[in-house]
Structure 1
């Protein structure tokens, strides 16, 4: 199931590029059949990749929220 790992790593690339639509499309393309046919070691590795993707997504979300707060403070400071 190297194909599934490739898809997850491709999703990571899209996340890093900020291309959310492509990242979501890749995740949506993963089928139940791909998941069910995994051996234990591959499933664990895919789980680690997914966990990493979730953490990376959370970091990106938090940074965006921080930028929004800073922008609002800036805007309020200049009465825009």
Structure 2
């Protein structure tokens, strides 16, 4: 099953840009299709791969940077933007 996710990450850190960039880089390294923009990041891939990448990135973020809020919208299917 294919999964589309819109993810927003809000680290409780005065210098919030480095944690956001690091989480995006970890998601990109997972092999998923990752499209960051100013307000959120879209992820696309097979369900199990997406959920594993999110789990790993969230756990890593909490261990590395401490408290944060992740907000995600999940939609079954391929919602990638078409050219």
Q: Please indicate the TM-score interval, normalised by the length of the shorter structure.
A: 0.3 to 0.5
- Structure with the higher fraction of residues in helix conformation: 1
Q: TM-score, normalised by structure 2?
A: 0.32
Larger CA Rg, structure 1 vs 2: 1
TM-score, normalised on structure 1? 0.33
